[in-house]
Homo-oligomer: A and B are copies of this chain.
Amino acid sequence: MQVAICGAGPSGLSQLHAFECARQNGYSIPNIVCFEKQTDFGGQWNYSWRTGFDNYSEPVHSSMYHNLWTNLPKECSEFVDYSFDEHFGQPFTSFPPRTILSDYIRGYAERNNVRQYIRFNTVVRWISYSDEKQKFHVVVKDLLKDETRSEEFDYVIIATGHFSTPNVPYFDGIETFPGRILHSHDFRFAQHFHGQDVLIIGNGFSAEDIALQLYKYGAKSIILSYRTKPKGFKWPDGVKEVPLLVRIDKESVHFRDGSSHTVNAIIFCTGYVHHFPFLDDNLRLKSTNSLYPADLYKAIVWVHQPRLLYLGMQRLTFSFNIGNVQA
């Protein structure tokens, strides 16, 4: 039996660990191949200075920025069977920075002996299912060799994450805005906005975190535009919340309450879309970012073809330990 896993981030690594555990406990396990387009473990936590496209012209996966610290207590991001304390040999702060998380994930993968299953620098181009053969047909590209080939699998597990493809809505007049426009996916250093008036669209975790980064690194003023209701925090001076943006006229941004401001830059903190361009229609999850995506039995099994599984597609529960089912 052949099993393909797409992605070697926290979800994919958990799944590999589950198989490897089973093997070490004497069970017979299927042939497993994990395809990872990046050069190393870590998925989202594998930071890149690049934005847009990587050196193989593939979309840059990570949405991390240089000075990111986790916005969840580390206990929410801990693998059940590998504690932070175990990894670092000492007790540990609850909100570690990016590099620590990344190191921890690598440690988890190495300790669990799962590198053997992973083909790095290999991107999945297209997956379809043949009713006739009862197999998945998987087209992958070896980025180093610049070669594409096809393989057949009995099961496919999608663990590619859903915080990589930015959602960037249109606002009337935005094409006239002469300042910088970016999505939090492409945000790398808050220093870029030193001395600037910045508009942040959105008020989720990214908006909150980036606003405080901008403040810390000397942005002149920061406006957060919310869709439904403000956070209402005691923001520092120079940070304020306003209702939804309705119109842009060159440097002027106009809000639903009739107020307007002049800004130098706009940062979209408007979240991500579930994007699986490599999946045939009848296999492709079409979901908004929610706690319980449509068409997934127990939030994992694709109801239209139960040999297809999705891991870690839920909102918020960015647990490193979801889905050690199957096998």
Contact = CB atoms under 8 A, between A and B. Distances in A.
Contacts of A188: 181
B179 A57 contact: no
A211 to B, nearest CB: 19
Given A185-B52, A281-B148, A192 B180 contact: yes
A126 B139 CA distance: 10
A149 B49 CA distance: 36
A75 B82 CA distance: 67
Contacts of A189: 178-180
A124 to B, nearest CB: 12
A286 B126 contact: no
A276 B52 CA distance: 17
B51 A52 contact: yes
Contacts of A170: 55
B52 A186 contact: yes
Contacts of A148: 280-281
Contact of A53 (B57, B168, B286): B168
Nearest to A123: B277
B178 A286 contact: no
A52 B191 contact: no
A196 to B, nearest CB: 10
Contact of A281 (B147, B185, B281): B147
A151 interface: no
A286 B146 contact: yes
Interface in A218-251: none
A197 to B, nearest CB: 14
Contacts of A147: 281
A57 B180 contact: no
24 contacts: A49-B174, A50-B168, A51-B52, A51-B182, A51-B186, A52-B52, A52-B183, A53-B59, A55-B168, A57-B165, A57-B275, A59-B59, A66-B178, A125-B126, A125-B277, A141-B277, A146-B286, A149-B281, A178-B189, A179-B189, A179-B191, A179-B192, A180-B189, A180-B192
Ranked nearest first, the 3 interchain pairs of A and B with the lowest CB-CB distance are A49-B175, A178-B189, A148-B281
